[in-house]
């Protein structure tokens, strides 16, 4: 059986991307991070990935959405990618994109995202800061399948955190990011162990 091939899409800092890359490197060839793709030339994630020896692609949205997504699909097909992990990718994927990607994998949805809240609470940007402003007694992290909406896809796994209202926003961010890193790398490992079924890229495409 060949290694599972995973692509990471990210637009920002890349702490989740780094954790996923480091985790994949411990999985002894069962799974590989084939590349990191960003839509932002200045995203620190690009440098992080390169330092860890992972190929990067920059696909900026210079044309319309359809052409932008087609350029990404071409790269995914070239690498025969099985799973896409979004990790702070600040762009919605269209239904057409997701359908095409699913068609290459027996119609299975194999695009996932991680989000720093207990969805459906606080979807979208600045989720941690908004929960902090509301002084919620607990929040958490969600891993979910990706659909066309903003953080609306089917939930795979959630974990809650109790947070002290006296803690600073920086403390909340640190705890939540630590939980994200653990959950996303465990999910990656579960793929490599076959605990989450993979439909491999169909080679006749
Ligand atoms: C994370 O909080 C993730 O949940 C959200 O975007 C953030 C990305 O952070 N989708 P990083 O770039 O991985 O550090």
Give residue-wise pLDDT tens across range 179-201.
Answer: 999 999 999 999 999 999 999 99
Residues of the chain with pLDDT under 70: none
Average pLDDT, rounded, for the chain: 96
Q: Please, what are the domains in the chain?
A: 4-192 (3.40.50.170)
Ligand 1 atom nearest to CA at 180:
4
Positions marked catalytic: 115
Q: How far is CA 100 from CA 33, 106, 151, 173, 201, in A?
A: 21, 11, 20, 35, 12
Distance CA(119)–CA(139), nearest Å, equals: 9
In the prediction, which pLDDT does 166 show? 86
Which of 87, 139, 152 most suits a substitution to test ligand 1, by most atoms within 8 Å of the C-beta?
Answer: 87
| pTM, 2 dp | 0.97
Distance CA(112)–CA(40), nearest Å, equals: 20
Rg (CA), the chain: 17
């Amino acid at each position: 059986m060949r290694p599972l091939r995973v692509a990471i899409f990210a637009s920002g800092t890349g702490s989740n991307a780094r954790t996923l890359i480091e985790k994949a490197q411990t999985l002894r060839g069962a799974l590989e991070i084939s590349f990191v793709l960003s839509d932002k030339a200045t995203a620190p994630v690009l440098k992080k990935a390169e330092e860890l020896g992972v190929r990067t692609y920059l696909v900026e949205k210079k044309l319309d959405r359809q052409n932008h997504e087609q350029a990404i699909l071409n790269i995914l097909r070239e690498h025969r990618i099985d799973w896409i992990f979004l990790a702070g990718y600040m762009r919605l994927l269209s239904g057409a994109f997701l359908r095409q990607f699913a068609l290459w994998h027996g119609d299975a949805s194999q695009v996932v995202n991680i989000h720093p809240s207990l969805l459906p609470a606080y979807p979208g940007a600045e989720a941690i800061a908004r929960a902090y402003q509301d002084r919620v007694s607990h929040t958490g992290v969600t891993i979910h399948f990706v659909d066309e909406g903003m953080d609306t896809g089917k939930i795979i796994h959630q974990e809650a955190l109790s947070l002290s209202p006296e803690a600073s926003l920086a403390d909340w961010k640190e705890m939540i990011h630590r939980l994200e890193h653990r959950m996303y790398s465990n999910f990656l490992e579960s793929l490599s162990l076959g605990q989450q079924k993979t439909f491999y890229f169909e080679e006749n495409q």
